Amino acid sequence: MNPTPYITHHQLSALIEADYLVDVVCMAEPYFKEAVWYGKWVIQVPEQRGESERFLVSARGKEGPHLRTFKTGYGLISFMWKLGFRTIGLPMEEGTSVSYRIGSEPAAKTGPGATATEERAPLSFEAIRTGLLLLANHGFVPVWSAIQLIKAGYAVPVEVEVTFPHTWPDTVNAIRLTDAGRTTASMLAERGASPVDPPNPIPDWERVISESYIRQKADEGVLAKDIICAKEWYPSPIEPERRTMEQMPVRFPIAEWKGGAGHVTDNN
């Protein structure tokens, strides 16, 4: 048995390259606040190959090693990404864990007194990546993807009041990327991530849209009040942000009569 109960970042990287199993353990019930998931997660190398379990610690100083804890979901996902994992799951109940091995899918496990549920399934970084690219390229995501982006702290729900002169504003339930979401989307673009198309046609009423989508539809001649999209899709108890935007100029076609025959042309 290995007598050392802890490992450093450098040692952890070496064990991962040697095909060791690594666990992410949830130590406290996560909670959502201001578009970020907070909690307490630690990383351990469980008992295997005749060696005792070891926990990841911060760099050892004069006071000895300190257990390294991750306080936000975004920080943990970023750390696991740098370690080489491309499908990343977060355990979302105290006492649960997710196991990783390079080249394998994450496997969720439950601890004493904890039960895994569909609502608390691990968040997949691949699914988040797809959602970010869908928003970047199309301006909308399906409801389930929008909820995953919010749980990971990459987006927040918003109620957009679209104002138009001499009329009541139209309210649209939409989504907005957080700073973390915009940073990650930019990182994906810089790394040459291929544009993503929806895996299946997404009905209009299941689309969670962004403000850029509202502008895009204006270019197509559709006013905000006529856009069909998901309504009140965000999960309770999350409260949406309130934002205001002006209705973008809409390109309406006009009719011209040429030679006595009706002919429609664009006024732009």
Tell me, yes or no, whether 72 and 137 share the same domain.
no
CA end-to-end span of the chain: 76
Burial of 38 (0-12, 13-18, 19+ CB in 10 A): middle
Q: Which of 12-26, 46-60, 96-110, 186-200 has the lowest mean pLDDT?
A: 186-200
Tell me, yes or no, whether 141 and 234 share the same domain.
yes
260 within a domain of the structure (yes/no): no
Supply the pLDDT for residue 264.
Answer: 42
256 within a domain of the structure (yes/no): no
pLDDT interval class at 6 (50, 70, 90): confident
pLDDT at residue 211 greater than cutoff 90: yes
Alpha-carbon distance of 184 to 38, in angstroms, equals 18
Q: Which of 25-39, 96-110, 136-150 has the lowest mean pLDDT?
A: 96-110
Q: Say if pTM beats, i.e. exceeds, 0.85.
A: no
157 within a domain of the structure (yes/no): yes
Tell me, yes or no, whether 111 and 11 share the same domain.
yes
Supply the pLDDT for residue 49.
Answer: 81
Tell me, yes or no, whether 133 and 73 share the same domain.
no
Query: What is the domain count for the chain?
Result: 2
74 within a domain of the structure (yes/no): yes
Supply the pLDDT for residue 167.
Answer: 80
Tell me, yes or no, whether 71 and 183 share the same domain.
no
Alpha-carbon distance of 126 to 66, in angstroms, equals 31
Widest CA span in the chain: 94
Tell me, yes or no, whether 11 and 47 share the same domain.
yes
Tell me, yes or no, whether 83 and 24 share the same domain.
yes
Mean pLDDT of 202-218: 90
Mean pLDDT of 102-110: 75
268 within a domain of the structure (yes/no): no
Q: What is the DSSP letter of 195?
A: P
Last residue of a domain, one of 96, 115, 134: 115
Last residue of a domain, one of 81, 115, 149: 115
Tell me, yes or no, whether 34 and 134 share the same domain.
no
pLDDT at residue 199 greater than cutoff 90: no
Q: Please give the residue range of the domain that contains residue 234.
A: 125-246
266 within a domain of the structure (yes/no): no
100 within a domain of the structure (yes/no): yes
Greater confidence (265 vs 95) lies with: 95
C-alpha angle 210-194-129 in degrees, rounded to nearest 5: 55
Last residue of a domain, one of 71, 94, 115: 115
Greater confidence (240 vs 237) lies with: 240
Supply the pLDDT for residue 52.
Answer: 74
Tell me, yes or no, whether 110 and 133 share the same domain.
no
Tell me, yes or no, whether 100 and 129 share the same domain.
no
pLDDT interval class at 198 (50, 70, 90): low
Tell me, yes or no, whether 224 and 242 share the same domain.
yes
- From residue 33, alpha-carbon distances to 30, 38, 237 in Å are 10, 7, 11
pLDDT at residue 260 greater than cutoff 50: no
Tell me, yes or no, whether 31 and 144 share the same domain.
no
Return mean pLDDT, the chain: 79
Greater confidence (78 vs 126) lies with: 78
Which tokens is 59 given? 């760099």
Half-sphere exposure of 181 (CA within 13 A, CB side): 25
23 within a domain of the structure (yes/no): yes
